Structure 1
Amino acid sequence: MKVHETVMDWVTAELRSGRLSIGDHLPGERALAETLQVSRGSLREALRVLEALGTIRTSTGSGPRSGTIVTAAPEQALALALDMQLATRHVEHEHIYEVRLLLEAWAAEHAEVEAADLAAAEQLLERMDEVELPVEEFLQLDAAFHASLSRAAGNPLISTLMDALRSAIADHTLARAQALPDWSSTAVRLRAEHHGIFECVRDGDRAGAAQLLREHIEGYYRETAAAAADDARA
């Protein structure tokens, strides 16, 4: 077993037993190395792997936020894995589109107004309403808006998956936007659709929100696919 797996197994066991909780500090490096019977050099390498995976956060200095802290941010590991899958073309952008339809429509159908962070979603809408906003920034905010609304379903796994998909969604929509002949017209339509979706969620209209989300995602995909096909013919 690799050292980072040994450390992960130990952290997992401690969390399950209740001896550790999210936000707790891990033992010091020397004590943990002795507990796990590994070298301190191997332990440092293992902790770097776990930090990249979002399991822990390490900080130098003094005070309550220093040291090695259990964070459990699974979306970070999922995002890294997804980026690798996209880079190797094992996962295509069409697959992201299909997963979005499933996750976002389900989340809308199960949304609870009380669980929605409407203020955060509305703030994202306001930033997207800036006419001179660069397309890259618009689409990053767009992905954050969709991830924000998904949290209203109160399903932590859906929220984690959507958070992990955020960068992939932004990259996916940007790649497709590059084929559009008139981004500004598309942006006007997307803004209007975002506001319509937000209003349905705010008003507790789950079916309406789910339908508008499907139309919104499918519409962008069809529009950009048609633009790409026109470019290919030209």
Structure 2
Amino acid sequence: MTANMRNTEVNGDSSGARGEVSLLRPLKAAEVVARAIVGDIRSGGLAAGANLPSEAAMLDKYGVSRESLREGLRLLEVHGMITIRRGPGGGPIVGAVDSAHLGRVSALFYTMEGATYDELLEAWVWAEAELAERAARNPDADLRAVRMEPFVHAHDESEDGAPDALGDYLERHAGFHHAVAGLAGNRVLALSLETYGQIVAHHVAVLDDPRALRDVLIDDHLQIASSIASGHPRRARELMWQHLGGVVEYCREHLSVPLESPIEWL
């Protein structure tokens, strides 16, 4: 057991005292063990879907109480970093790093702060334009071409000509923005800035049917992808700005919530 684990087990929840500086709050035991598990996933090179040790093995390794271990595992599960398979033979399984999970948590903070949909959309347009410009500046021309190739030649229908199901549609178009972010050369920016689009996409999917934008989005993605692949950062930024400007106008016209109202957790 580390010193932090011993201290947090002893201190319990006293760290939540009113008026304490948040940055200086000692980690709770559950947070410490969650951090240790993530560290072991990373150092062990465990891919999504890999099995984690049993509860008994984790209790022995981390030296915390069963309650703290289970709370730490629940914390990781909520954030999508692990999934917990129930029943005989079940247990914790490594999850995938997905900005959608970070977006869900971030939305709670924006809701509590009273941030508005207008502010979210403004942040989203800026963030994606920044990522597009950075992607086009990526010095690896071959990598740019490979990552953007699917979107230069993409179509948006299934093989029988029928429109995509909503889930497939959202996954396909989120994949484009994820590919752009992946070329930006900064994983902190990529993961953080992608969350704005994830929140917007979730709201649009719940409150409307974004497939109405299908043809516009495909053509826009094609042009942006071509600019990134050919290494034209200013053009990529301008096209992304124009692209999302059109999406924002669509949101203003079709979403059933006032955009000056606080973001809600849907």
**In structure 2, what is the equivalent of residue 145 of structure 1?**
176
Q: CA deviation at 1:79?
A: 2.4
Q: CA deviation at 1:97?
A: 1.7
Q: Counterpart of 1:147 in structure 2: which amino acid?
A: H
Q: CA deviation at 1:217?
A: 1.0
Alpha-carbon distance between aligned partners in 2 of 1:145 and 1:169, rounded to the nearest angstrom: 15
**2:148 is equivalent to residue 118 of structure 1:** yes
Q: CA deviation at 1:212?
A: 0.6
Q: Deviations along 1:118-139, whole A, 9 cap, x unmatched? A: 244457x322696744677545
Q: Counterpart of 1:7 in structure 2: which amino acid?
A: V
Alpha-carbon distance between aligned partners in 1 of 2:156 and 2:247, rounded to the nearest angstrom: 20
**In structure 1, what is the equivalent of residue 25 of structure 2?**
none
Q: Give the 3 Å change call, closer, same or farther, for CA 59–147 of structure 1 in structure 2.
A: same
Q: Give the 3 Å change call, closer, same or farther, for CA 21–91 of structure 1 in structure 2.
A: farther
**In structure 1, what is the equivalent of residue 46 of structure 2?**
23
Q: How big is the alpha-carbon RMSD for the aligned residues of Structure 1 and Structure 2?
A: 4.0
**In structure 2, what is the equivalent of residue 44 of structure 1?**
70
Q: Counterpart of 1:142 in structure 2: which amino acid?
A: H
Could you say what secondary structure the match of 1:110 adopts? helix
**In structure 2, what is the equivalent of residue 169 of structure 1?**
200
TM-score, normalised on structure 1? 0.69
Alpha-carbon distance between aligned partners in 2 of 1:71 and 1:132, rounded to the nearest angstrom: 30
Q: Deviations along 1:41-77, whole A, 9 cap, x unmatched? A: 4423321222322444556888xxx865666737354
**In structure 2, what is the equivalent of residue 104 of structure 1?**
128
Q: Counterpart of 1:159 in structure 2: which amino acid?
A: A
Q: Give the 3 Å change call, closer, same or farther, for CA 133–50 of structure 1 in structure 2.
A: closer
**In structure 2, what is the equivalent of residue 78 of structure 1?**
102
**In structure 2, what is the equivalent of residue 213 of structure 1?**
240
Alpha-carbon distance between aligned partners in 1 of 2:112 and 2:62, rounded to the nearest angstrom: 35
Q: CA deviation at 1:211?
A: 0.5
Could you say what secondary structure the match of 1:145 adopts? helix
**2:120 is equivalent to residue 91 of structure 1:** no
**In structure 1, what is the equivalent of residue 16 of structure 2?**
none
Residue 34 of structure 2 contacts residue 73 of structure 2 at CA under 8 Å; is this kept in 1? no
- What 5-or-longer segments of structure 2 have no aligned partner? 1-7, 9-27, 257-266
Q: Deviations along 1:74-130, whole A, 9 cap, x unmatched? A: 73541231343466683332233222222222222222243441244457x322696
Residue 109 of structure 1 contacts residue 206 of structure 1 at CA under 8 Å; is this kept in 2? yes
Alpha-carbon distance between aligned partners in 2 of 1:74 and 1:221, rounded to the nearest angstrom: 24
Alpha-carbon distance between aligned partners in 2 of 1:51 and 1:33, rounded to the nearest angstrom: 18
**In structure 1, what is the equivalent of residue 187 of structure 2?**
156
- What 5-or-longer segments of structure 1 have no aligned partner? 230-234
Residue 105 of structure 1 contacts residue 210 of structure 1 at CA under 8 Å; is this kept in 2? yes
Q: CA deviation at 1:214?
A: 0.6
**In structure 1, what is the equivalent of residue 79 of structure 2?**
53
Percent identity at matched positions? 22
**In structure 1, what is the equivalent of residue 23 of structure 2?**
none
**In structure 2, what is the equivalent of residue 232 of structure 1?**
none
Residue 78 of structure 1 contacts residue 164 of structure 1 at CA under 8 Å; is this kept in 2? yes
Return the structure number with greater helix share. 1
Residue 197 of structure 1 contacts residue 209 of structure 1 at CA under 8 Å; is this kept in 2? yes
TM-score, normalised on structure 2? 0.62
Could you say what secondary structure the match of 1:126 adopts? coil
RCO comparison, higher one (Cα < 8 Å, 6+): 2
